[in-house]
Structure formats: structure tokens, C-alpha cells
Amino acid sequence: MSAGSAVAVAHPSLALVKYWGKRDGGVNIPATSSVAVTLGALTTRTTVRLGPAASPDRIVLDGREQPAERYRPFFDAVREAIGDSPSFIAESTNDFPTAAGLASSASGFAALATACLAAAGVPIDRARSSRLARIGSGSAARAVYPGFTVWRAGAESAAPLAGADHWSAFRVIVVPVATGPKAVSSRDAMNATRATSPYYRAWVDSHEELAERSIAAIAERDLEALGPVMRLSYARMFGSMLGADPPIRYWRPETLAVLDAVDALRREGVAAWETMDAGPQVKVVTTTDDVATVVARLRPLAAMEPIVSAVGDGATIVEPA
């Protein structure tokens, strides 16, 4: 592609152990360490062109022009990082529903940061893309890396833990139970939890241990050790939200039906462990041995066909089609 433009692809980052809450002293500095996997089956593709200085930045997502204010801190951070002041014209498409709570902001800002740096002619350094992507969306800091990732409490960028080929049998089944936009953004929900929930401190204080246990379980490729830690992380995250004033509750009746079905599968000896994010959808971690059984059981409870993903690659520059 000509100088001054670039195309990048990236995949969402699913936290197995959650980032929930921000520290003071920077944009999206996490209060808790998170441990995540990059989901190869879902892809965001973003084209960036440099425009004249002092022109407005523009971003079109799945054909819709996005409000510029949401992106301003991100684009300003890119201009500062490259030491130049072009405007950015970006066009992005997701091959999965944006508003269904499938972490599109993670892949979106990972692809956008990577494409902006490449369009500006800056060599791609993932730690730098991670730092910039974080300004747009915290979880995007992890999505620039392939495989399994860690983002430490207080850190400005995430780091790789293990590559995409580390655990080849690992599968995530995304089970959408509701489509349509969520009522409260993760940003607003995190801030409200921190400001009003008496359980927030307990959440933060109890979480580091879970991050360490999940890292050890991933190193051993041990789903029976990882699963209970994942469950504690998401359950305690929602516990902290339920303590907010007013309480934040993303779960729907359909969510509980899926959680019950996953419990039942485990009682039958199937290795399946769920997690959830700031929305009603459920993501189930399993392995190639059990994926067909889990999909068959959960499909009737889903609002859309479940999406099965292996461990994916990090954000990369691609040639235009």
C-alpha cells in the first residue's frame, strides 16, 4: 500500500482473569492484573490513511461514522508518540456483531493502533502498540499480542505469556444470549463500581492471587486448575458490581440458563468452564475433546449460532485485498 496508509487486523482479547477498575494517574491504568487469551475466530480489519494536520479525525465502523470525541484521546496519544500531527481517517469492519458484547473495543483499538503506527511509517513494536491501544480501551492493550497475555495492575502495556501454539487443544465457545447494545458501558460500570461499591476494595485486594494461579495453570495447560480460578474471577467481579449504587446487573434469564447448562456438563464429566464480561453473553472454555458436546448442549440456549475459537494471533499489518 502507498506510504501514509496501512491495513491491520486484530482479534479480541478474552480475559480469563479480569481487569475491572482503574487506578489514578493515567488513562486506563488497571487496578487488577488480568490474564487473557486472544480469540482467533473473530476479526477486526482496519484501514488508516493519514490526512492533513488540523483536519478532523474520522472513524467509520461497520459503515457508521463514529463520534470523534470518543477517539480523541487515542488519536492525540498517537500524534504524541510519532512526534507529528497528521489527522487520521480510519475505516474498520468486524466479522462479528459489534454491539453484542463480544469485546469489539479490544480488537478495534488493537487494529487501529497498529494501523496508525504503520501508516505513520513507525516500525511496529508491540509494546508501543499495546500502550497506545490501551488509551482507547484497556482490554485492547492485551489484544495486540498473540496467544496468552498478562496485563499487570498499574502497567501501561500488556505483555505476552505464551504464544498462539502453546495450547493447541484450547477452545473458547462464545455463546451470545442477547443481541443489541448493552445498557451500561464497561467504562461507566467500572467507574461506578469503584466510586460506590463497598466491595470494590475487597475485589482488588483478593484478585492478584487469582492472576498468579491462572498463569501457573496456563503454563501447565491445566484446564481443571484454570477453570475454578476463572469462575472466581468473573463471579467476584460481578459481586463488586452488584454492590454499586445503583447496582449494575448485566445478567439475563438466558444467561443463567447457560450457566446452569455448563454446571450440568461438568457434573457429567465434561471439561467446560465459563466466564463473562460486562454484558449478558457467556464464553465457555473447553478443549477439542469436548467442544462438539458443549456446542450441542448450548446451541438451543443461544440467540445466535455459538462461535468456536482457537487461540489467535496478535495484531498484524496485512496487504489490502
Q: How far is the CB of 28 from ligand PMV (least distance, A)?
A: 7
Q: How far is the CB of 85 from ligand PMV (least distance, A)?
A: 27
Residue 70 or 299 having the CB closest to ligand PMV: 70
Residue 7 or 250 having the CB closest to ligand PMV: 250
Give the span between the Cα atoms of 15 and 280, in whole angstroms.
15
**Closest by alpha carbon to 263, among 288, 238, 235, 239?**
235
Residue 85 CA: distances (Å) to CA of 57, 82, 112, 122, 294:
11, 8, 16, 14, 50
**Buried/exposed code over 173-211 (b: 16+ C-beta within 10 A; e: otherwise):** bbbbbbeeebebebeebbebbbeebebbeebbeebeebb
Q: How far is the CB of 186 from ligand PMV (least distance, A)?
A: 4
Residue 90 or 189 having the CB closest to ligand PMV: 189
**Buried/exposed code over 229-246 (b: 16+ C-beta within 10 A; e: otherwise):** bbbbbbebbbebbebbee
Q: Which residues bind ligand PMV (CB under 6 A)?
A: 15, 18-20, 34, 105-106, 137-139, 186-187, 277-278
Residue 47 or 240 having the CB closest to ligand PMV: 240
Q: How far is the CB of 280 from ligand PMV (least distance, A)?
A: 12
Q: How far is the CB of 106 from ligand PMV (least distance, A)?
A: 6
Residue 137 or 240 having the CB closest to ligand PMV: 137
